[in-house]
Amino acid sequence: MELIGTSALVTGGAQGIGLGIARRLLAHGAAVVLFDRNEDAARAQAAELGSHALGVGGSVTSVEDIERVLDAAAAAFGVPQILVNNAGVGFMTPVLDTPDEDWDLVFDVCAKGTFLCTRAFGRRLRDQDLPGAIVNLSSINAFAASDGIGHYAAAKAAVSQFTKVAAAELAPLGIRVNAVAPGLTRTPMAEGGFLSGRMLEEFLAHTPLGRPGEPDDVAKVVVFLCSDYAEWITGVTLPVDGGTHIRGLHNYWAVAQEEVAT
């Protein structure tokens, strides 16, 4: 699964799953651009990763920022032929208590950001007559529902459906589009409560393989989907969740309220 001579753009690449993906892509020979709203963190992580990494600040919701990072990537390493749409945001709010701005934020980052980056990336490959691979970050929450995450579940379901349509439309250009759907993974976002106490106990009870995921668990699958080993795969959303999708999810909101009460 060597990716030598290829460059990749990873959104939300300064921490968590995105950083894990960047490390794996580098280990398999690709140059990597970390695109993150935290510019200082993106640059610091890129400096730590070495000369084949570049950190660029910006937002996946800004067309101007996306064009700027693609220009920077092309100047540093050539036109990127791998895009990983990893940037995301999520939190718990019951449907009836969800403010408009929270719904809009989650959809703007998770769903619209995936669309905007895919469109810009795909246009550049089309204009250069280059093949490529896109991997989107969906979630187990796209198909296993839980109370308290209506906005996040809906946005991630949108990512999975968008993946299918984009795969069909971009296939004639030689661009494959797939998605991965992580379950509970050890990231800064999950550290906010999912990786401790009753919440963790419930997750593990619903996970046949019996542990939380690590960013590298997801990263290995992303590298596979970007490589020639997956050249006959497009339009899928692949669960990377230790089997949690088999048993379904517990009620996030009820467990969170129980822990607050105690």
Active site amino acids = 152
Residues 7/32, Cβ–Cβ less than 8 Å: yes
Using DSSP, state whether 82 is helix, strand or coil.
strand
* Sheet bearing 7-11, strands edge to edge: 53-57, 31-36, 7-11, 82-85, 132-137, 175-182, 237-240
What angle is formed at CA 124 by the lines to CA 8 and CA 132, rounded to 5 degrees? 45
Nearest to 90 by CA among 19, 29, 151: 151
Assess contact for 245 and 184: CB atoms under 8 A.
no
Q: Shortest CA distance to 151 belongs to which of 196, 108, 188, 189?
A: 108
Alpha-carbon distances, residue 191 vs 42, 73, 114, 194, 248 (angstroms)? 20, 31, 24, 6, 21
Distance (Å, whole) CA 112 – CA 169? 18
* 3-class SS of residue 85: strand
